[in-house]
Amino acid sequence: MLSDDHDIESIEVSYLSEGKYAVEFDVRWRGDFKDGSFTDLTVAQRWVMYESEQFDHPVIENYVAVVKSNNLTGD
């Protein structure tokens, strides 16, 4: 990969049980590859996280990313 760019319009946070929370957002990801190809995808992401006394940052328990659309082909 030669370069890439990400855009996030909005982030939705919902609180779950047991101190966990879910974060959902769409990322538009564009990238230039070494072989000369280019990608422009919108990827739906959902992260489930929780706070831990062991770390000074949230811990990611689960992460799911699904291609929502290919912005080059309109799919």
For residue 20, the surrounding DSSP H or E stretch is strand 20-32
Task: Give the whole-number percent of the chain exceeding pLDDT 90.
Answer: 92
- Residue 41: what pLDDT? 96
- Residue 9: what pLDDT? 86
CATH 3.10.450.50 fits 3-70, yes or no: yes
- Sheet containing 59-70: order of strands: 3-15, 20-32, 38-50, 59-70
In the predicted model, residues of the chain with pLDDT beneath 50 are: none
| Domain spans of the chain, in order of start | 3-70
